[in-house]
Amino acid sequence: MTRVAVLDAYKCKPKRCGRLCYRFCPIVRTHVEAIRFEKDKPVIVESLCTGCGICVKKCPFKAISIVNIPDELEKECSHRFGENTFKLYRLPTPSPGTVLGLLGQNGIGKTTTLKIFSNEIKVNLGNYKDPPNWDEIIRHFRGSTLQEYFQKMAEGKLRVSHKPQYVDKIPKVVSGNVGELLEKVDERKMLEKIAEHLELKQFWSRPLEVLSGGELQRVAVAAAICREADVYLFDEPSSYLDVNQRLEVAKAIRSLKNNEKTVIVAEHDLAILDYLSDQICIFYGEPGVYGVVSNVHGVRTGINIYLQGYIPDENVRFRKEAVIFHEKPPTVSFGAGETLLKWGKMTKSYEGFKLDVQPGEIKRGDIIGILGPNGIGKTTFVKILAGVEEADGGVKFDKLEVSYKPQYISAEYEGTVQELLMNVAKENFSSSWYRTEILQPLKIDLLLDRNVTELSGGELQKVAIAASLSRKVELYLLDEPSAYLDVEERLNMARAIRRVVETHNVAAFVVEHDVVAQDFIADRLMIFTGEPGISGMANSPTSLRDGMNMFLKEMEVTFRRDPTTKRPRVNKENSKLDKFQKQIGEYYYVRSLHQ
């Protein structure tokens, strides 16, 4: 067995713990330094470590992870950043004319892989002290398609276009108007066509710094597609986009394969990844510790393998339980009781935009999902409920205790995650219920000693959700809580919201573009229709089935169910099943096909 020892430098505080890992290590007692200190930080010597796990258990900050892996896998190490840091095993094998999807948890190596393929990180085969030269790298991958890939990269003959993960950081490094910037990178002369498909003309003359997350995402995707390159890399291209925009982006990305381009996409929206990919590579391991890249599988087989948690051709189980989907819509929560909030007709007007809201109500124990295109008034409605905005005529809801998680989160809190949550949750923070229902499902317990300003986008999202659910209120308002979360984190987030609502007999509104996530969270749906950016209509809450049908009919999209995992899959436009479902009016739950 080979050992991977990872030390989280953010969590390790040797002065506060008194170097417990060193004091209790049985190897150190024999005068062999399996753990040594350099600049007051411990270093674990993996070749001397016996894997007893005492240092892991003694560390009060959960800064140490030690994992045993087979010796055979060590020969396939692709990259390591340094001593006691994350280790990546193997790499995907992309091929021209094929869209390869990368599927796995956050912190498992997908973004690192894309940076290796874009030459932002030079692969070191695990030898971070004496990195190999290009000849050694090419020799290591001989016999595979990666040999030719890195050969071209070494010779400077490989052109790569890379769409990064966090598009909200783009305005900090690039400035200018949308149209001017895109025209500069339009090397393929595709801008007019892409701008029409992705609806970029609406904000063509605006500067980048005033764009929303969804607008920035579409601009970043358009810029990547318009560049002339051999390889196109997209890191989470669907974040902040509505369902229709996600499909249009998927079509645009998929069109690159017609020119025999190599396309690699890392994505957490299963329906979109299924729609745009030809093949799938699964990433498994332990987030932040090590990641292993599976063999290439067909798209349907690969996604099903990921959900089931078992890779047959490698005889590897990486998840204890399979992810289960509903074949039919869940019934309304039995906890739904007395009416908590009732609203009548109201409007909210801005310059150039008007939102009309139809009457409705929400009951205790009820979770209402909010679905609709971007720019249609969903966030405006939630802000009215939160008391951040007032409806026309001074209508506002200030008597109800509300906890609001906004769409865009900024790390302005000076302090650790634990300090933030203790300030919000107060005495509940130390309760067993809080730990088992909020901290552990969202994996916040691993972040408690981290400073809020140091968190990644996904970590910040989970902390914001936890902070929102920590407040003792009657109504929770969560705006796009799945952004930057992986598949498992989205389902854990949905369960956490469900448990808080049911335990405290309160209610929640959840704005969410991931249709699969809404299916897990919502009891009922509130569908927003209209013309984005001009007028919006907030329809009264309706059942999950009727709401999904209303929403998907507006989007002109139908879903089918995978026979093995029951997961939703987008039907190809004008396919036989697409036409049939539209004809019978069943856009999501195909009741007529099962009964």
Specify whether the CB–CB gap between 235 and 116 falls below 8 A. no
Copy the structure tokens of residue 472. Answer: 């003792």
The pLDDT tens digits for 466-515 are 999 999 999 999 998 988 888 889 888 998 999 999 999 999 999 998 88
- Which pLDDT belongs to residue 398? 57
Amino acid identity of residue 278, one-letter, is D
Residue 269 has phi, psi (to 5 degrees) of -80, 105
The pLDDT tens digits for 111-154 are 999 999 999 999 999 999 999 999 999 999 999 999 999 999 99
pLDDT band at 182 (very low <50, low <70, confident <90, very high): very high
The single-letter DSSP state of residue 416 is B
pLDDT band at 332 (very low <50, low <70, confident <90, very high): very low
The pLDDT tens digits for 567-589 are 888 888 888 999 999 999 898 86
Q: How many angstroms separate the CA atoms of 593 and 595, rounded?
A: 6
Of 25-29, 328-332, 343-347, 429-433, where does mean pLDDT reach its minimum?
Answer: 328-332
pLDDT band at 348 (very low <50, low <70, confident <90, very high): very high
Tell me how far CA of residue 495 lies from CA of 56, 191, 200, 447, 479, in angstroms.
Answer: 29, 42, 36, 20, 16
- Which pLDDT belongs to residue 78? 95
The pLDDT tens digits for 487-496 are 889 888 998 9
Q: How many angstroms separate the CA atoms of 465 and 415, rounded?
A: 17
Specify whether the CB–CB gap between 465 and 442 falls below 8 A. yes
Helix residue ranges, H only, 81-204: 110-117, 134-140, 145-154, 170-173, 178-185, 191-197
Is residue 585 left, alpha or beta, with left meaning phi > 0 and alpha meaning psi from -120 to 50? left
- Which pLDDT belongs to residue 89? 97
Task: Check pLDDT > 80 for residue 395.
Answer: no
CA 283, 74, 141: angle at the middle one, nearest 5?
Answer: 75
- Which pLDDT belongs to residue 189? 93
Q: How many angstroms separate the CA atoms of 105 and 95, rounded?
A: 24
Task: Check pLDDT > 70 for residue 326.
Answer: no
- Which pLDDT belongs to residue 334? 46
Non-local CB neighbours of 531 within 8 Å, separated by 6+ positions: none
Q: How many angstroms separate the CA atoms of 363 and 337, rounded?
A: 6
pLDDT band at 592 (very low <50, low <70, confident <90, very high): very low
- Which pLDDT belongs to residue 518? 86
pLDDT: which is higher, 294 or 573: 294
Specify whether the CB–CB gap between 560 and 582 falls below 8 A. no
Copy the structure tokens of residue 88. Answer: 């990546």
The pLDDT tens digits for 201-210 are 988 999 998 8
DSSP, collapsed to helix, strand or coil, labels residue 117 as: helix
DSSP string, 522-574: -SEEEEEEEETTTEEEEPPPEEHHHHHHHHHHHHT--EEE-TTT--EEEPPTT
Instruction: Give mean pLDDT, residues 392-401.
Output: 75
Q: Which residue, 260, 250, 262, 191, is CA-closest to 222?
A: 191
Q: Which helix (H) or strand (E) holds 163?
A: strand 160-163
pLDDT band at 595 (very low <50, low <70, confident <90, very high): very low
Instruction: Give mean pLDDT, residues 414-420.
Output: 90
Copy the structure tokens of residue 365. Answer: 């124990």
The pLDDT tens digits for 208-250 are 988 888 889 999 999 999 999 999 999 999 988 888 899 899 9
Of 44-53, 56-65, 368-377, 444-453, where does mean pLDDT reach its minimum?
Answer: 444-453
pLDDT band at 455 (very low <50, low <70, confident <90, very high): confident
Q: How many angstroms separate the CA atoms of 209 and 76, rounded?
A: 43
Average pLDDT of the residues of the chain = 89
DSSP string, 315-376: TEE--SS-----SSPPPPPTT--SEEEEE--EEEEETTEEEEE--EEEETT-EEEEE--TTS
- Which pLDDT belongs to residue 329? 53
- Which pLDDT belongs to residue 62? 85
What residue ranges define each of the domains in the chain, with the CATH number in brackets? 2-69 (3.30.70.20), 77-317 (3.40.50.300), 339-544 (3.40.50.300), 556-595 (no CATH)
The pLDDT tens digits for 88-108 are 999 999 999 999 999 999 889
Predicted structure pTM score? 0.86
DSSP, collapsed to helix, strand or coil, labels residue 396 as: coil
- Which pLDDT belongs to residue 335? 47
Amino acid identity of residue 499, one-letter, is R
Q: Which residue, 502, 512, 576, 579, is CA-closest to 547?
A: 512
